[in-house]
Structure 1
Amino acid sequence: MRDRGRTRRLLGLGARTGGALLKTRLGGQADWRSLGEALFEGLSELKGPAMKLAQIMSQWDDLLPPDLAEELSRLQRQAEPMPWPRIREALVIQYGDLESHFSDIEERPFASASMGQVHKAVTHAGETVVLKVQYPGLADVLESDLKQVKRIMRLGRWFKVPQARLDALFEELAAGLRDELDYRAEADAMARYRERYQQDTRLVIPEPLFDLSGQHVLAMRFVGGTPLRELESVDDETRQKIAAALADWITEELFTYGELHADPHAGNFAADEEGRLVIYDFGAVIPVPEARLKSMMQLLEATLAKDPMAMDEALLKMGGRQGQGAPLSLYRESAECVAPLFSPGEQDFSDVRVHRRLRELTPKVWAAMDRLQPPADTLLLSRALNGHYWNLVRLGARLDMHSRTQPLLAWARKPA
């Protein structure tokens, strides 16, 4: 991966994005489809932190203009792979003589993403393994890319987001991207999760192979499965099993272990032949302090009670919002959108009416951004939870969220 030309191209994409935002802010109509196509083509080739940021944005389906969200979502499905000769360079750096470790390595990747791509290989013992290979030179251009991402994020000032808050959001994003470059840490996280959930027969977590892994290559035993994004065509029983397993796992992660798998990219999940949830990627696992969980549940309880003053108090307690005058009418509308998902009985996540109401709320959220500010230190957490929610939507999940959340709300009320 070469630094030459990246800065110029990223600046060009940033300028085009800024132009679209400015046109919208001045009352015009931006061509979001055209912008999305340009971002897909440019970021798919450049890869790295900027592409990762676009993937994150694409998971916020309810906040982006539909045409832009649709184009950016392609980055999750069909990122262009890096040519084999460059990937082979990275493998040689890790292993030296490849033939002494593997009898065969498939040159065509079966998955490619923003920070690396995945190749199957066969050991001399005849075992099929998976090699997750970080793009060569990515660490060298990371800081340069992050500078350009920070410049693009400054566009948030047009929506009256304070610079200090933008800086805090950037630092959380940057820290997460730096952590994802260390594949040794990901191998450790994968081993920890395997041990933690070894008794849960609904989950499958591949085994990391430490002897074949390093900082830039992660080796694991191959586990086949149907990607989550392709499960729309399978039978309803399988989809509901996967959805329930996903929801239960996220809840246990948060409220039992105080951690969260923070990369809900649909390509990181699959269903095996037995209908079990396969979890492939552990490059982003974040701690979630108990105090943060309790404040989130207090905000949810205020939302379900449709109490705008209590919602504002909870948001302030989390470190969000600013300025004078709470946007109470916006709180009321938000509560009306969210509350149906937590009504008693089974709720259908594929109900398009809920998503339509969220989309209709989006312009009002942006208009109130001078007062309604998200907590600066919850970027990865909110992104992860939002992404997991949309995975449940893709699965057409039917879950009793009322029964699931009542014990958690009661737990949050207990004094520390």
Structure 2
Amino acid sequence: MRERGRTRRLLGLGARTGGAMLKTRLGGEADWRSLGEALFEGLSELKGPAMKLAQVMSQWDDLLPPELANELARLQRQAEPMPWEKIRTTLEAEYGDLEAHFAKIEERPFASASMGQVHRATTLDGETLVLKVQYPGLEEVLESDLAQVRRMMRLGRWFKVPQARLDALFEELAESLRGELDYRAEAAALSRYRQRYAENDDVVIPAPIESLCTARVLAMSYVPGTPLRELDQADDALRQAVAVRLADWMTEELFTFGELHADPHAGNFAADAEGHLIIYDLGAVIPVPEARLRQTLKLLKATLEEDPMAMDAALLAMGGRQGEGAPLSLYRDSAAAVAPLFAPGVQDLGDVRVHRRLRELSPRVWAAMDRLQPPADTLLLSRTLNGHYWNLVRLQARLDMAGRARPLLEWAEQV
């Protein structure tokens, strides 16, 4: 009965979303704020894959209507927590007598996500730590929820997104969520990253408490910090320090270790008073092959040179844009919108004029999706890079993008 109730609610939310999209497609104006409020309320309670998908979509600031994006973004910071009694059931199933392990567990969570929520706790030795607790029953409803999410994603066909690309996006989401069911994998990732950055004081990774980590509970050392999403009113010097460290870290991840943090919503990152970058969540880390990096940079090079024919050749070399009809005018306008970010000198990523141009391009990009046909295996990488980029925008970062890109573009040309 409980699973059928979830299915009905998800179907209802999907139908409402589809109705708004159809109205827009037919030339009308949808009430995006009301839709966003309904999605926030419903997904905040249901949790699981659909909420995860909405969190992902909320990072696409240049794609969604602002009213809808703002409501979905609340899922990253204001989602309704699950009652303590249900969370305690999971903790007791994993640990048995909680008093044998903890002097105190705060019943009110300080973070609620799509797959679990975080509670602060104190051990019998007086150590403060955090417990990331998986929502009870999630494993039992995961596949049913994923089936409904697949149906929702098919709405993308109205915007001419090829079915193969929608399927690839779905498989990406499904694989990630199935992997997140076992928190021991994230505990292993925390240990790997702590070792990787042991000599880098600019990056702080919480330590997993191995004796308390289980498949459904991730125990970590407590590392206080201000979430990135709350730094908009912080001192400018602090924001710039965090932005530089975030950009440096992403570059090192990609070009030194061939990996990238694939869940870049702002709640997963924080800063301490000295501007050190704190990374709280490593539940989703993806490999990035060197060959794909080189291809992506060649596309960037063609874009910065505002050469539409070279852009098309680069996209074809990546495995996209099959068939006839290269959208050369779209390439030109896209290059004109992106190039200012890489002009010589320090660029202000908080400049709304740049993002307005990118936002205005989005409907044309979606309209041409049947011709562009981006490679399926680049969808996750592009979404992830897009999310990290918007985190830099939120920090109002001022960076020498041209100087940062130059050695990478040169590297991409090496055989």
Shorter-chain TM band:
over 0.9
What is the 5 A alignment of 1:6-405?
6-405=6-405
- Residue 234 of structure 1: how far off its partner (Å): 1.6
| Structure-2 separation of matches of 1:234 and 1:162 | 42
CA separation in 1, counterparts of 2:319 and 2:137?
37
Structure 2 letter corresponding to 1:221: S
- 1:131, 1:218 within 8 Å by CA — same for their partners in 2? yes
Q: Encode CA deviations 1:222-245: one digit per residue, 9 max, x unaligned.
A: 000111111112211111110000
User: Displacement, 1:2?
Assistant: 4.3
Q: Tell whether the 8 Å contact from 1:33 to 1:71 is kept in structure 2 after alignment.
A: yes
**TM-score, with structure 2 as normaliser:** 0.98
Contact in 2 for aligned 1:76/1:267 (Cα 8 Å): yes
**Stretches of structure 1 lacking an aligned partner (at least 5 in a row):** none
CA contact (8 A) 2:106 2:119 kept: yes
1:323/1:370 contact within 8 Å kept: no
Distance 1:126 1:273 in 2: 24
CA distance in 2, matches of 1:314, 1:151: 32
CA distance in 2, matches of 1:196, 1:140: 35
- The offset of 1:168, in angstroms, is 2.0
Amino acid at match of 2:107: E
CA contact (8 A) 1:322 1:370 kept: no
Secondary structure of 1:119's partner? strand
Q: For the residues of structure 1 that align with 2:210 and 2:148, how far apart are their CA atoms?
A: 35
Deviation per CA, 1:245-283: give whole Å up to 9, x if none.
000000000000000011111111111122211110000
**In 2: Cα distance, 1:375 partner to 1:333 partner:** 21
Give me the whole-angstrom Cα distance separating, in 1, the residues matched to 2:161 and 2:268: 32
Distance 1:164 1:227 in 2: 36
Q: Which residue of 1 aligns with 2:3?
A: 3
The CA RMSD over aligned residues, in Å, is: 1.2
Deviations 1:195-243 (A, max 9, x none): 1011111111111111100111000110001111111122111111100
Runs (5+) with no aligned partner, structure 2: none
Q: Is the 8 A contact 1:21 1:30 kept in 2?
A: yes
Contact 1:172 1:377 in 2 (8 A): no
Letter in 2 for 1:293: L
CA distance in 2, matches of 1:360, 1:101: 55
Contact 2:160–2:367 (CA<8 Å) still a contact in 1?
no
Superposed CA offset, 1:170-218 (max 9, x none): 1122111111222101011111011101111111111111110011100
Q: How many Å separate the matches in 2 of 1:67 and 1:323?
A: 36
Displacement after TM superposition at 1:101 (Å): 0.3
Give how far 1:319 is off. Answer: 2.3
Q: 1:185 to 1:170 in 2, by over 3 A?
A: same
TM-score normalised over the length of structure 1? 0.98
1:25 corresponds to which letter in structure 2? R
- How many angstroms does 1:382 deviate by? 1.6
Residue identity in the other structure for 1:166:
L
